[in-house]
Structure 1
């Protein structure tokens, strides 16, 4: 096999770059249910989903994933092609990006030539098809044809083959005899040119052989076939066209494989022999209610891409038995809300706009990651609940989950089974009321959370009594009126964002037009107050995210920046309440943290540090006071498939951050955890520390420690090696021993900054509040 050329070629071309593999700390949770394209080669089937690829080894049945975790861009895939000769997979995208994954190599080559072409409109850069011929690939795009040299890994010419050299959409190319043929859309016909002509960049060397709009073209041995948008397949003979068949649906793909012709429509796959005799026709299987997207074959099996079940495999000699093939994953790659639970995660995909509009309705199911396996609940099982968004897990019964619908009320799920939908007929929930439409029903729940007593609190948009409480154990509902603050909810406030409850049992919610709203039950005499004005230092009245930190300070995200309410206890008594910006120093200049950034979500971890997601600038991780930026993850420096963050959820037991983006779900192993109430469960690992463990970089973890603790590490003779104290030696501060919530990290170095020798070390823990102590023994072998 001819391998790719030496790496120095890459260095010579500034438009080629290798992307990093992030699999050490990141994990992708992508959906592979909808398949965009399939290709085959070297005993593998490659299938492209929305923005990720998986391969099936047809001999071992082993499945491997290729995602943004491995270096893919996360953009929307349009087509793929595998070259057996060069042992590489080429991936094309809607935006014109091309990436190459090499066999037995973890690096991804990114090619941005088409993206960076200023003469081509961004809407016309889509990659439609790859056609390999000799050492080059002809790339069909929405502007014409580009050439990529697989041997030199570099771009060649671009052909604008429309009349007068105009840019026209080319759907597919094929080399037949001495000519290259191109099918074109939008009435631009089929065009051909001599493949050996060195001047194909001149549009005058391209001949129009027939008019119309054509979606594909393929060579099958000594025959040439093409499909028109009229749903017919034609054989091209001496540049004349002869109709062979008219399909009930427009064919979506046309491929020539092993001497056979494969035509895929949304309801059927047709396989023809070299004389256009049909070998197999595979219709939609009743147990797989879906649409087909594409297909390929090997000598024994047919592999069909679908919209809902990944790849369906069926044998030529048994066309009634289907095997569903795809990696485990959630239903969709559009997560809107996520919520962790012990060893699990709930995900919803229903949404509403930034102006709290639910349409178009999202009839999507719900996904539940449980014990590292995805349980997907389809929409048909959700009792008609559309636009499902925020999720609340009952802390007193984690099998009981409540999910808000932004149209149909509140859905209750027990042990993964939807059991009831609460609406205006069976609960305290109420529909918005439209003048002149008494029968109109729309119950739009957004924020929700449980309090310490197991009471569920929710907010209903466009309602007179938007704040509701529900006691699952008794079925009792209570409603709280906001009309003193918002007399006309239909016209004065479009909706509510997050709902949080502080240490004093005050309910806080963000609103579209009234800033932050605080609600105090006040022993039956409710108090309601809002702050939103410029005088109160708000950058915007539209509050999009709220979070309470470990000091009961309220962190506030708006569509124009970040604010903090430092003193929440005097909110209702102080007439001059103000929120404050976080001022940081950058290059000697004082600046406002996240100035005019649109904030999507805020979460606080066990160390009181802040995870903040934005709508277009990725994900930030700040120190507890916001003064230090620990991480800033974007598409360019991390596996985030999009810089648009929809939601964040923290698994503080396992130190995992789940990040829902516009184009998929990923998680980051932050390592931090929530502190424990005592030191009883504290332990150190790995123990013993063996020679093959990279102690400096991977670090010894001291887990399950309490919130306010002092840690001393000594050798067996009592000599101090390292020391740390909560709130002093915080993580990411550069100390040899750092504390992050309920976990401490030691890099194996002593006070002289040298890695310690082999021996037994004592880890002495002392809780500074309770005076509890504990000693752990740690063996280091070097």
Structure 2
């Protein structure tokens, strides 16, 4: 049996190399492609769309190329795609009704439907091509796009009295255009000059009215129509395919009746393709089923959403679980999936030694019972672990769900500890769960305020290591608010009944004084100091910080994020912007320690930093710059003290996938910033990295800088904040700067703003004390 699992790393190695050396200022999407929804064949290319992404597979050289916002697409979440052979163009319809037309390397956006104020749904259900026209079946009617002129040609509102009506599909014969709608089957004379007049559309009376007619296709002189009784939803419903004869205007026969929802019916290369929840069936012109592709061998369970049979009788399937499936026969098939994380629902990330870990699950504090999943990214490639391959020790018999946070073991970066909503803390290496830490083998405590919910739920949702290798766990809704696992696997628990009680607990961080800060949603923070004696509780100190002056002075009780910066200051994100604890060491002393807002000048007006934004997450880069994620305005980058806004990335001005930012994590080695959004993960190569102890790992990228490269040249691996001078080979100074953390950048231009001549340039680096120096070379080709 010939089977192959083609990933982006194997099939298109240059993309992986690009991901490892992402140029400064460039973007890289990180999306899952296994949940495919639509497929289209265009000569040697197969286009495959998932809910979040789009890629092409070249049938000649087996290469894969991703299309995304980073490469020019307008949106993220896709509804359907369809190829127009006459115009050699792909139409991409998005869930928000936006449309892209892809002509090779050119992308044309048509936002008419998205922008137009329409009563009811704008959903684009399906796209049907006829000549140079694309007919869009929408939630309000039919929209016709002229692919040649690249514009909306017309709109047909065909409901009773000219009302909006949900149109699910469109098809044609020689005389009529047919529409499957939520009320009835409609048809109109295809040659009518007034198709935008509802009065030219008539109901097909022989079809039972009042049902959802959601699929139709004209095939071999007959109209194949699917209708559902609507008794069930999603993939399980009583669907029936019947054959309508346009000549006799009668229903000839029932083709098939199924308990499972039919997804697609289309004519492909002389055959009729019918797709339901479990299978792809092919019918000949006599309406005899001649082939069925269903769950077989490793293609199980089959979850086809769309399919195309090409001229070589190869079936290309968009599968909701396997991605793009190339099916020759039961003994020869391939799964083609670009490399990416396991799912789109990422909620938290952690970084260590060049590796990013991401958990997938709910973003709040309530159970969603999402199957376990964790992904890791290293050297330009993702590794995914989920319910399909995660293994458990014999003593773990309970169902595991809702991964919520992850911390990387500082002594072994392949080992992680995963906090969960209800199932304790999982100690994992790769896909293997080594230990489930719960109330049977640790001081973690079960829920005491869960009412009728089983009392064995252990909400150890958030985890963090300190500099001594102790793992700290926020154990909310229990009698033990904080627990710590020492490196020898001995646990210690701490209860604060008067401060926390049965509160839900959020993120936990550890400041430069060893104090543990635990977020209490809608309240503030618990700050705990064990004074360096984990086993001696007599010297422990704890305080709950609130909005009260002298007791935290938080700008609001709605706190969402907390981070310790490179200077030891504690920054918090709230529903009313940002505040900073400049003296966290004074919390248990006598002096004032209240949080302070930052004043920033924007457009000549002084205001508090992000005071009108819900700040959901904060990250600090190697230059101590602050990255703020918000709930609706994207990402903001400021200088170290927050008084100068350097960047604002949002969906209107950048490829970022969403303005709702859930988490931000930074690769300190190369400055790549990962934005976890509600629509997936995207990264951006920033200018700042963590400083190094010496110059032993200095790299320059790209080197040489070729004429077609117009971005910044990165000089990486520097001692923190060193002075950098660049000269030509004769020693003439052409540029100087100061490193941002461990990285300096150069645009290959001199002081006059002109690109330097072709040649070799020397990079001189000196630390502030003048004790450490280094020289590197850059080749610039003009």
TM-score (norm 2): 0.88
Provide the residue aligned with 1:529 in structure 2: 543
Q: Tell me the SS of whatever aligns to 2:136.
A: strand
Please give the alpha-carbon distance, in whole angstroms, between the structure 1 residues aligned to 2:699 and 2:63: 37
Kindly indicate whether the alpha-carbon contact (under 8 Å) linking 1:366 and 1:379 is maintained by their aligned counterparts in 2.
no
Please give the alpha-carbon distance, in whole angstroms, between the structure 2 residues aligned to 1:59 and 1:714: 47
Please give the alpha-carbon distance, in whole angstroms, between the structure 1 residues aligned to 2:159 and 2:494: 66
Please give the alpha-carbon distance, in whole angstroms, between the structure 2 residues aligned to 1:718 and 1:641: 45
Post-superposition shift, 1:365?
Answer: 2.0
Post-superposition shift, 1:604?
Answer: 0.4
Residues 158-198 of structure 1, C-alpha deviations (whole Å, 9 max, x = no match) = 2121111111111101011210010112xx11000001111
- The answer on 1:264 being equivalent to 2:275 is yes
Match of 1:510 among 500, 514, 519: 519
Provide the residue aligned with 2:683 in structure 1: 667
Kindly indicate whether the alpha-carbon contact (under 8 Å) linking 1:51 and 1:74 is maintained by their aligned counterparts in 2.
no
Higher mean alpha-carbon deviation, 654-663 vs 416-425, is at: 416-425
Post-superposition shift, 1:350?
Answer: 1.0
Provide the residue aligned with 2:717 in structure 1: 704
Q: Tell me the SS of whatever aligns to 1:114.
A: helix
Match of 2:480 among 465, 470, 479: 465
Provide the residue aligned with 2:109 in structure 1: 110
Post-superposition shift, 1:718?
Answer: 5.7
Provide the residue aligned with 2:771 in structure 1: 771
Provide the residue aligned with 2:176 in structure 1: 179
* TM-aligned CA distance change 1:587 to 1:375, over 3 Å: closer
Higher mean alpha-carbon deviation, 28-37 vs 412-421, is at: 412-421
Q: Tell me the SS of whatever aligns to 2:114.
A: coil
Q: Tell me the SS of whatever aligns to 2:161.
A: helix
Kindly indicate whether the alpha-carbon contact (under 8 Å) linking 2:240 and 2:258 is maintained by their aligned counterparts in 1.
yes
- The answer on 1:555 being equivalent to 2:571 is yes
Provide the residue aligned with 2:215 in structure 1: 216
Residues 464-499 of structure 1, C-alpha deviations (whole Å, 9 max, x = no match) = 32211112x42111111222322x32xxx3322x22
Provide the residue aligned with 1:17 in structure 2: none
Kindly indicate whether the alpha-carbon contact (under 8 Å) linking 1:344 and 1:372 is maintained by their aligned counterparts in 2.
no
Please give the alpha-carbon distance, in whole angstroms, between the structure 1 residues aligned to 2:112 and 2:315: 35
Provide the residue aligned with 2:306 in structure 1: 294
Please give the alpha-carbon distance, in whole angstroms, between the structure 2 residues aligned to 1:58 and 1:718: 53
Provide the residue aligned with 2:10 in structure 1: none
Provide the residue aligned with 1:587 in structure 2: 603
- The answer on 1:361 being equivalent to 2:365 is no
Residues 437-460 of structure 1, C-alpha deviations (whole Å, 9 max, x = no match) = 595221112322111111111111
Provide the residue aligned with 2:318 in structure 1: 305
Q: Tell me the SS of whatever aligns to 1:348.
A: strand
Please give the alpha-carbon distance, in whole angstroms, between the structure 1 residues aligned to 2:759 and 2:109: 48
* TM-aligned CA distance change 1:395 to 1:437, over 3 Å: same
Provide the residue aligned with 2:143 in structure 1: 146
Match of 1:411 among 426, 436, 440: 426
Post-superposition shift, 1:575?
Answer: 5.3
Kindly indicate whether the alpha-carbon contact (under 8 Å) linking 2:448 and 2:479 is maintained by their aligned counterparts in 1.
no
Kindly indicate whether the alpha-carbon contact (under 8 Å) linking 2:635 and 2:659 is maintained by their aligned counterparts in 1.
yes
Provide the residue aligned with 1:11 in structure 2: none
Provide the residue aligned with 2:11 in structure 1: none
Kindly indicate whether the alpha-carbon contact (under 8 Å) linking 2:571 and 2:580 is maintained by their aligned counterparts in 1.
yes
Please give the alpha-carbon distance, in whole angstroms, between the structure 1 residues aligned to 2:213 and 2:119: 22
Please give the alpha-carbon distance, in whole angstroms, between the structure 1 residues aligned to 2:726 and 2:131: 65
* TM-aligned CA distance change 1:779 to 1:560, over 3 Å: closer
Kindly indicate whether the alpha-carbon contact (under 8 Å) linking 1:178 and 1:195 is maintained by their aligned counterparts in 2.
yes
Matches for 1:566-585 after TM superposition, within 5 Å? 566-574=582-590, 576-585=592-601
Kindly indicate whether the alpha-carbon contact (under 8 Å) linking 1:52 and 1:68 is maintained by their aligned counterparts in 2.
no
Post-superposition shift, 1:546?
Answer: 0.7
Residues 321-361 of structure 1, C-alpha deviations (whole Å, 9 max, x = no match) = 431112111221221112233343222111142xx212x31
- The answer on 1:323 being equivalent to 2:345 is no
Provide the residue aligned with 1:519 in structure 2: 528
- The answer on 1:375 being equivalent to 2:388 is no
Structure 1 residue runs without a partner (length 5+): 1-20, 724-736
Provide the residue aligned with 1:137 in structure 2: 134
Task: Report the RMSD for the aligned CA atoms in angstroms.
Answer: 2.4
* TM-aligned CA distance change 1:700 to 1:349, over 3 Å: closer
Aligned length: 729
* TM-aligned CA distance change 1:67 to 1:779, over 3 Å: closer
Residues 106-153 of structure 1, C-alpha deviations (whole Å, 9 max, x = no match) = x322211112221333xx000011112233221101111111111211
Post-superposition shift, 1:720?
Answer: 4.8
Matches for 1:68-467 after TM superposition, within 5 Å? 68-103=69-104, 105=105, 107-121=106-120, 124-185=121-182, 188-209=183-204, 210=207, 211=209, 212-229=211-228, 230-237=238-245, 238-242=248-252, 243-287=254-298, 288-298=300-310, 299-315=312-328, 318-353=329-364, 356-358=365-367, 360-380=368-388, 381=390, 383=392, 384-434=399-449, 439-467=454-482
Kindly indicate whether the alpha-carbon contact (under 8 Å) linking 1:52 and 1:72 is maintained by their aligned counterparts in 2.
no
* TM-aligned CA distance change 1:45 to 1:691, over 3 Å: closer
Post-superposition shift, 1:233?
Answer: 1.0
Kindly indicate whether the alpha-carbon contact (under 8 Å) linking 1:749 and 1:755 is maintained by their aligned counterparts in 2.
yes
Please give the alpha-carbon distance, in whole angstroms, between the structure 2 residues aligned to 1:777 and 1:158: 61
Please give the alpha-carbon distance, in whole angstroms, between the structure 2 residues aligned to 1:135 and 1:278: 32
Kindly indicate whether the alpha-carbon contact (under 8 Å) linking 2:698 and 2:718 is maintained by their aligned counterparts in 1.
yes
Post-superposition shift, 1:248?
Answer: 3.5
Provide the residue aligned with 1:29 in structure 2: 30
Please give the alpha-carbon distance, in whole angstroms, between the structure 2 residues aligned to 1:459 and 1:713: 49
Post-superposition shift, 1:221?
Answer: 3.5
Please give the alpha-carbon distance, in whole angstroms, between the structure 2 residues aligned to 1:618 and 1:650: 16
Kindly indicate whether the alpha-carbon contact (under 8 Å) linking 2:601 and 2:644 is maintained by their aligned counterparts in 1.
no
Post-superposition shift, 1:290?
Answer: 4.5
Provide the residue aligned with 2:498 in structure 1: 484
Higher mean alpha-carbon deviation, 704-713 vs 661-670, is at: 704-713
* TM-aligned CA distance change 1:259 to 1:761, over 3 Å: closer
TM-score (norm 1): 0.88
Kindly indicate whether the alpha-carbon contact (under 8 Å) linking 1:620 and 1:632 is maintained by their aligned counterparts in 2.
yes
Provide the residue aligned with 1:628 in structure 2: 644
* TM-aligned CA distance change 1:512 to 1:178, over 3 Å: same
Provide the residue aligned with 2:231 in structure 1: none
* TM-aligned CA distance change 1:228 to 1:320, over 3 Å: farther
Kindly indicate whether the alpha-carbon contact (under 8 Å) linking 2:30 and 2:680 is maintained by their aligned counterparts in 1.
yes
Please give the alpha-carbon distance, in whole angstroms, between the structure 2 residues aligned to 1:125 and 1:774: 60
* TM-aligned CA distance change 1:779 to 1:228, over 3 Å: closer
* TM-aligned CA distance change 1:682 to 1:207, over 3 Å: closer
Q: Tell me the SS of whatever aligns to 1:569.
A: helix
Post-superposition shift, 1:37?
Answer: 1.4
Provide the residue aligned with 1:644 in structure 2: 660
Please give the alpha-carbon distance, in whole angstroms, between the structure 1 residues aligned to 2:751 and 2:216: 71
* TM-aligned CA distance change 1:220 to 1:411, over 3 Å: same
Residues 400-433 of structure 1, C-alpha deviations (whole Å, 9 max, x = no match) = 1111111111111124422222111222211111
